[in-house]
Structure 1
Amino acid sequence: MTAPFQFTSDDVRIESQETVFEGFFRMGRLRLSHARFAGGYTETIQRELFLRGDATCVLPYDPARDEVVLLEQFRPGALWRDQSPWLLELVAGMDEPGESAEEVAHREGEEEAGLRFARLEPICRYLVSPGGTTEMVRLFCGCISSEGAGGLYGLEAENEDIRAHVLSLAEALAMLDDGRINNAAAIIALQWLSIHRERLREAWQ
């Protein structure tokens, strides 16, 4: 059996690349062929890609109170589902050029929830939907005090309308179990915290 990851980017032949739409988001079109497991190359295929920068997300966690802060805001991608298009999510923001993921985390914590992270624990990096978009997300768990947290936040210039909720970790995990929390970053981060909770409570207090 051949081990995974035998191919690299060098095994992709890009014939053409163009931007087909540029507005709030950007869409590109690729024509390419790639190596086949059985040998040789595929025929030329065409793929459209949602060209989006990387993002940073943080799950704010108070180890003393065993509470998390989750943000509620409107998401048009959740329209036409059998649920509310207002989702409970993590603190999150797009990475700006020259900005580290940690810098994004601290900036967005202040802007979206009025929070300051005493520590940031890396969780993982993941490709959001690599069949159709270039976006990579980096996840953190951030140490906070949830005392006095919650309320309305967001930048008016960016049309943000955010309500920060303080929940016990048990409440948040129950929402995860029954499907009320159903976006990837929050699911991954809350499951990670459920595994690492005791270690963090010991290390962060």
Structure 2
Amino acid sequence: MPQPFQFTANDVKVEKRETVFQGFFRMDKLWLTHPRFDGREMPTFTRELFIRGDATCVLPYDPERDEVVLLEQFRLGALGRNQSPWLLELVAGMNEEGESPEDVAQREGQEEAGLSFSRLDKICDYMVSPGGTTELIHLYCGQVSTADAGGVFGVEHEHEDILSHVVSAEETFAMIADGRINNAAAIIAIQWLQLNRDRLRKEWQA
């Protein structure tokens, strides 16, 4: 059997590319072809691609109090579904030119929750929806003190309105189980915390 990853980006031929929308977001249309697994060439086809930069997300965790910080804010993409469009999420922000993911984590921690991370543990990098968007998430768990956490935050000129909640780790795990938290970054990070919680409570309090 052939091994995975026999093809690379060099095997993709982009015959034409044009920007079909440029607003708050950007959309490109591509005409492309690539080899097939059976040895034939794929006929030229078109795809629309949502152009979005990398982002960084952080789950703030206090190992001493065994609490996390979750942010509640309005999300347009959840409007029209059988749920509230105000979601519980992580600290998150888009990576700007010249910033490392760790820089973004600290900036967004301050802007969105009034938090500084004394330590950042990398969880993973993952593609949000590679069938249609370029976005890559850099995901972390960050050490904080939740003693004085909570409140209303956000950058007003960016139309941010964020309510910061302090939640026990156990309650956060329950929110994943019953669907109250249903966005990918939060699910991945919280499940990672379930697997690494005991280790973090030892290492981060050492």
Q: Do they fold alike, i.e. is TM over 0.5? A: yes
Deviation of residue 35 (structure 1)? 1.0
Residue identity in the other structure for 1:63: P
Where does 1:165-184 land on structure 2 (aligned, <5 Å)? 165-184=165-184
Distance in 2 of aligned mates of 1:59 and 1:90: 5
| Residue 94 (structure 1) aligned with residue 94 (structure 2) | yes
Runs of 4+ more than 4 Å apart: none
Distance in 2 of aligned mates of 1:40 and 1:105: 45
| Residue 28 (structure 1) aligned with residue 56 (structure 2) | no
| Residue 125 (structure 1) aligned with residue 125 (structure 2) | yes
Please, what TM-score do these two structures have when normalized by structure 2?
0.99
Where does 1:147-162 land on structure 2 (aligned, <5 Å)? 147-162=147-162
Residue identity in the other structure for 1:175: M
Distance in 1 of aligned mates of 2:76 and 2:121: 30
Distance in 2 of aligned mates of 1:64 and 1:90: 20
Count of residue pairs the alignment pairs up: 205
Distance in 2 of aligned mates of 1:28 and 1:191: 34
Deviation of residue 90 (structure 1)? 0.1
Please, what TM-score do these two structures have when normalized by structure 1?
0.99
Deviations 1:82-116 (A, max 9, x none): 10000000000000011100000000000000000
| Residue 46 (structure 1) aligned with residue 50 (structure 2) | no
Distance in 1 of aligned mates of 2:84 and 2:108: 24
Residue identity in the other structure for 1:159: H
Distance in 2 of aligned mates of 1:57 and 1:183: 12
Distance in 1 of aligned mates of 2:97 and 2:17: 22
Deviation of residue 40 (structure 1)? 2.6
Task: State the superposition RMSD in angstroms.
Answer: 0.4
Deviation of residue 41 (structure 1)? 1.3
Deviation of residue 187 (structure 1)? 0.2
Unaligned 5+ segments in structure 2 are: none
| Residue 37 (structure 1) aligned with residue 50 (structure 2) | no
Aligned to 1:61: 61
